[in-house]
């Protein structure tokens, strides 16, 4: 029994599940902010208020806030799709898992790169630090999981 649990709960799969959940929940947060669920309220972060400040500083009409946040939310949910599939395919097909993991992580890295550039333009150094830290975590996760998948596939 413990062998089955240990073969399922391996660190590379846990990392893949973490990033899949990260992107899925971050994307859903753009749509579910302060929504009453059955047993709890999805509190989330008020990105509309945050982006209102950014747009006011940059002289961008506030009418673009909602479409931008919706686009970002959809994009983040889409990033989670290949990562969820990679977690599902971890044991049966290591090479397929690696391909989908790499796609999801590359999209995530590009997203954090774009967010970081936006943070620099807007002048939000706290968000820049946060996005830069996540970017580094994506790189480390990418390296570790690919190393692990390479070793597992060669066995």
Whether residue 155 is predicted with pLDDT greater than 70 in this model: the reply is no
User: What is d(CA 59, CA 129) in angstroms, rounded to the nearest whole number?
Assistant: 24
Task: Say if pTM beats, i.e. exceeds, 0.85.
Answer: yes
Name the token pair of 33. 């902010």
Whether residue 154 is predicted with pLDDT greater than 70 in this model: the reply is no
- Longest CA pairwise span in the chain (Å): 61
User: What is d(CA 119, CA 130) in angstroms, rounded to the nearest whole number?
Assistant: 10
Tell me how far the alpha carbon of residue 21 is from its chain's centroid.
Answer: 7
User: What is d(CA 29, CA 38) in angstroms, rounded to the nearest whole number?
Assistant: 16
- Per-residue pLDDT at 129: 97
Tell me how far the alpha carbon of residue 53 is from its chain's centroid.
Answer: 24
The tens digit of pLDDT for each residue in 52-95 reads: 889 888 888 999 999 999 999 999 999 999 999 999 988 767 78
Average pLDDT of the chain, as a whole number: 91
């Amino acid at each position: 029994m413990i062998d089955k649990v240990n073969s399922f709960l391996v660190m590379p799969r846990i990392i893949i599940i973490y990033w899949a959940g990260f992107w899925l929940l971050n994307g859903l947060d753009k749509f579910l902010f302060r929504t009453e669920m059955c047993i709890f309220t999805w509190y989330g972060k008020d990105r509309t208020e945050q982006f209102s400040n950014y747009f006011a500083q940059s002289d961008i009409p506030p009418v673009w806030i909602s479409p931008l946040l919706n686009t970002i939310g959809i994009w983040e949910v889409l990033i989670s799709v290949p990562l969820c599939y990679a977690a599902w395919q971890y044991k049966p097909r290591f090479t397929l898992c690696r391909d989908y993991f790499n796609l999801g992580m590359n999209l995530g890295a590009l997203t954090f790169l774009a967010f970081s550039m936006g943070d620099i333009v807007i002048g939000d150094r706290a968000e820049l630090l946060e996005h830069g830290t996540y970017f580094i975590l994506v790189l480390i996760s990418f390296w570790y999981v690919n190393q692990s998948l390479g070793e597992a596939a060669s066995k």
